[in-house]
Structure 1
C-alpha cells in the first residue's frame, strides 16, 4: 500500500501574525500607488461592451 506524506507549509504573514514593521512597509507601498484620478483612458467601445455584459447577467 502506498502512502503520501504531506508537509505543512507555513506561508509568512498568513499562518503567522504580521509584525509592526510589516504593517509599516505595507502602508509605505500603498502610499506610492497611483491615485484613482491617474487611471488610463478607457475607450468608449470597451465601456459599451462592459455595459452589455452587465445587462446580460443582470449585474
Structure 2
C-alpha cells in the first residue's frame, strides 16, 4: 500500500437517504479505499484495495448480497 499523509475526505452516496444506515467512503487515498459507518465517524474504518472495493460494489449491484 502507498503511504500518504493525506487525511481521508469522507463522503456519502447521493443514494444514502435511508434513515441513517449509511457508510462513508474516502476516495482520495492512493491505492486504498477506506470505508466507515456514518453513524460512528470516530470508530474504526475498513480499508479495501481499489480492486477489492470495485469488486464488492459490482457484486452488490448484481444482487449477490440479497437483503
- For normalisation by structure 2, the TM-score amounts to 0.26
Larger RCO: 1 or 2 (CA < 8 Å, sep 6+):
2
**Radius of gyration: which is bigger?**
1
Greater share of strand: 2
